[in-house]
Structure 1
């Protein structure tokens, strides 16, 4: 069984990319605080995640850097060759569903509405 459910904060600005034949994808990282504290404060795990299609579009529409979200999905591994010819191995979460745990950012919505009018 390969299932993962996590709750954390989005680490970077949310950006969509178009790949291949028009498929939409987004990659980001979720900061997940550990349930215990250490002498120098609370430790945090950083989990890379990828969302495709409508899920990616929903995250981009409703979330900003720092927003709290819940993600359900599975772990996947892949590799690719970088521009130096080295094989890079990646382990990440493939998102199946998103749970928005904060209200939508109204400032971002207003900025989009202004851009649409211009």
Structure 2
């Protein structure tokens, strides 16, 4: 069996960092993931709850905030609970194994807390992958050494 979730989305709110009675850090977060455009061109999003533990929780709470783009990798889990009115409910959460940056500091408006936005510069002129020619390559005369 296989349970793997990989998502890239924007944080709906700042991650909520808490500590369990045993001293383990846990961060709860909610991300919005855009769906592909529909026929009408109207953008739709899905919202997912996620939980990170220990160092992942510290990393997320330190470097991510509301509106930031985040990549997460983990597994989808269910949790049964009883709400305040006594109704049985099921929660679906992504248990985060790994979180990663998916945008540059400049496009994120500064990135790290306390950092000022980095200036955005134009790409270097004269560098292009399309500027090569066939004369830049060398032919291989002997095919016998190739493994296929």
TM-score under structure 2 length normalisation: 0.67
Aligned to 2:37: 36
Structure 1's unaligned 5+ residue stretches are 112-118
Aligned to 1:21: 22
Paired residues in the alignment total: 111
TM-score under structure 1 length normalisation: 0.82
- Listed one character per residue, the Cα deviations across residues 77-104 of structure 1 (whole Å, up to 9, x for unaligned) are 0112233333221011000001112327
Matches within 5 A, 1:1-118: 1-39=2-40, 41-102=42-103, 103=105, 106=110, 109-110=113-114
Structure 2's unaligned 5+ residue stretches are 116-148
- Cα distance, 1:108–1:99 mapped onto 2, change above 3 Å: closer
Aligned CA-pair RMSD: 2.1
Q: What's the offset of the Cα at 1:16?
A: 0.3
Q: Which structure dedicates a bigger proportion of its chain to helix?
A: 1
Comparing 13-22 with 88-97, which one deviates more in the overlay?
13-22
Paired with 2:112 and 2:15, the residues of 1 have a C-alpha distance of 12
Bigger relative contact order, structure 1 or 2 (CA pairs below 8 A, ≥6 apart) = 1
